[in-house]
Structure 1
Amino acid sequence: MGQTIGLKASDGFLLGGYRADPQGKPKGGLVVIQEIFGVNHHIRNVCDRFAALGYAAVAPAMFDRAKADVDLGYDKAGIDEGVKLRAAIKLEDSLKDVQASIDAAKSAGKVGVVGYCWGGSLAFLAAARLSGLACAVGYYGGMIAAHKDEKPKVPTILHFGEQDNGIPMSDVETIKAARPELKIYTYAAGHGFSCDERGSFDAASHEQALKVTLAFFKENLEN
């Protein structure tokens, strides 16, 4: 269903990515932003699943500015490598790559962004800083609390795990206080609860969050 693609950022940087298109006319476009593990098997699967639901899904290779073709597993070595690569890339450059992906997805109609972990934070920041989006969804973004004073320009929802060891509920409350206009959902689960290739996967929380997310996309991308 999907294929490897190339993207060009505003500064001329060329990065890779993965795109999955639906059969027939798309309901809209989605930019799917990776965790700290690259455009790996899971993220490609996420794109394929969204395409099966009718959306054209584009996942930019967000690590390409530091290292090309990153595809990491969810073990300690993968985590350590992902943390190192993320630290090597400037935030403003990451957002340039997200913008390139938004532009690439526009051919499918209205564009939403959905991100997980690092990508959840980037989805929130994309909603506040970038152009061409109709909505944004962030899953367990650890940087959001530090950027709580930035206001998304488009409808945005956030998902967090109540048992997330990296994002305390005090951070979630801080975000709620600073951004009362956002809908924020919490689940009895830990970090990465929506990734079915991680030990922290929680099927019930994943399904609940996905139901909310798909209803949100239907409202903001299909109308």
Structure 2
Amino acid sequence: MHDERTAAATETGTGTDFSRRGFVVTSLATGFALAVQPVSAQTITTDSDGLVAGEVKIPTKDGQIPAYRAQPKGDGPFPVVLVVQEIFGVHEHIKDVCRRFAKLGALAIAPELYARQGDVSKLTDFGAIRPIVAKVPDAQVMSDLDAAVDFAKGSKGDVSKLGITGFCWGGRIVWLYSAHNPAVKAGVAWYGRLVGDPDELHPKSPVELADKLNAPILGLYGGADTGIPIESIEKMREAIKAAAKTAEIHVYPDTPHAFFADYRPSYRKEQAEDGWKRLQEWFKKNGVL
């Protein structure tokens, strides 16, 4: 992973100059990512009755990126929730999560954050996905999420009630964006990596930004997640405490990575439902929902 990122840093120079890139992805995937087939029978499907839901285009500094947006019908304004994709991009599961938030009265928006680097939805080999994701600069992601907030503001969104949640790759981004944007009211990070080796495209890990958090963060993690050891969670807890920031990390014992992903074998119904309940309580407590 480090070698791939180093190569990517060389390719983009400073790691923040993404304006020269073209756009590989111009529309969202339909269905589920091919890397996680077959889809589980436990998959949750949320209808769009009473909602305005579908693909939109978000203007950014260097062009448009596709995104999925769901919000209630009506005049609003609606609270805004940024939904940050897993490593597999914005596919049907992430779209469904947006509709779940819209059913709760929010405008939820999930921008395709790999749009310049590649379309991972059509790749069947997980090993082929990693090099693409490694080329996505944190600075680009922060900028694109800012653009998504601006889009939501112009689409009946109340950005004074701004929340963010993300899964896996997106869980890490929740911590980073909460340190980046002082307008965030609360965040919920699902099993996002907390430590890591820095490189030019990814200069800081969440544990290094604990003192920069602008909003209360709830972390939801699995005790049996082989990619996120308990030691790293304890390190993050210590950093949060030292920084005197408001954050809680809840660890579900004997629970794997991606336990919220109802379309995958890793799904754990009880933990997922409890996490979704905790998310709603956290967002209500901190002025998002």
Check whether TM > 0.5: yes
Deviation, 1:7, is 1.1
Alpha-carbon distance in structure 1 between the residues aligned to 2:112 and 2:65 = 6
Choose from 50, 64, 67 the match for 2:101: 50
- 1:139, CA displacement in angstroms? 0.6
- By how many angstroms is 1:63 displaced? 1.1
Question: Unpaired segments of 5 or more residues in structure 1?
Answer: none
> Is this contact kept in 2: 1:6–1:16, CA < 8 A?
yes
Q: Which residue of 1 aligns with 2:219?
A: 158
Residue ranges of structure 2 left out of the alignment (5+ in a row): 1-47, 197-204
SS class of match (2:286): helix
Map 1:51-90 to 2 at 5 A.
Answer: 51-68=102-119, 70-71=120-121, 77-90=124-137
What letter corresponds to residue 23 of structure 1 in structure 2?
A: K
Tell me the residue number matched to 1:169: 230
Runs of 4+ in 1 over 4 A off after TM superposition: none
CA 1:78/1:7 → structure 2, altered by over 3 Å: closer, same or farther?
Answer: farther
Residue 18, structure 1, aligned to residue 68, structure 2: yes
Residues 193, 200 of structure 1: 8 Å contact kept: yes
- For the 8 Å contact 1:161–1:193, the answer to whether it is kept is yes
Q: Does the CA-based 8 Å contact 2:171-2:190 persist in structure 1?
A: yes
Residue 143 of structure 2: SS of its match in structure 1?
Answer: helix
Label 1:65 to 1:126 Cα distance change in 2 as closer, same or farther (>3 A). Answer: same
Q: Say whether 1:149 aligns with 2:208.
A: yes
Cα deviation for residue 98 of structure 1 reads 1.4
Contact 1:157 1:184 in 2 (8 A): yes
Match of 2:270 in 1: 204
Structure number with larger C-alpha Rg? 2
Q: 1:7 aligns with which of 43, 58, 69?
A: 58
Q: 1:105 to 1:78 in 2, by over 3 A?
A: farther
Whether contact under 8 Å (1:7, 1:15) holds in the other structure is yes
Indicate the larger mover: 27-36 or 102-111. 102-111
1:99/1:131 contact within 8 Å kept? no
Deviation by residue 1:9-38 (Cα, 9 ceiling, x = unmatched): 2x3242111001123436511000000101
Residue 14 of structure 1 aligns with an amino acid whose one-letter code is Q
Counterpart position of 1:105 = 152
Q: What is the Cα deviation at residue 143 of structure 1?
A: 4.1
Output the CA distance in 2 between the equivalents of 1:116 and 1:72.
19
The question of whether the paired residues in 2 share the 8 Å contact of 1:39 and 1:61 is answered with yes
Q: Aligned with 1:4: secondary structure?
A: strand
What secondary structure, in the 3-state scheme, does the structure 2 residue paired with 1:71 have? helix
Change over 3 Å in CA distance of 1:139–1:72 after alignment to 2: farther
Q: With the length of structure 1 as denominator, give the TM-score of the two structures.
A: 0.90
- Is the CA contact (8 Å cut-off) linking 2:220 and 2:250 kept in structure 1? yes
Do the aligned partners of 1:72 and 1:82 also contact (CA within 8 Å) in 2?
no
**Between 16-25 and 202-211, the greater mean CA deviation after superposition:** 16-25
Query: What's the CA shift string for 1:145-182, capped at 9, x where partnerless?
Result: 63313131112111111000100001100000111231
Q: Give me the TM-score of the superposition, normalised by structure 2.
A: 0.70
RMSD value over aligned CA atoms?
Answer: 1.9
Q: What letter is aligned with 1:147?
A: P
Which residue among 131, 136, 143 is the counterpart of 1:96?
A: 143
Measured after TM superposition, the shift of residue 105 of structure 1 is 2.5
**How many residues are paired up?**
218
Conserved? CA contact 2:163–2:187, under 8 Å:
yes
The alpha carbon displacement at 1:127 in A equals: 0.3
Structure 1 partner of 2:188: 137
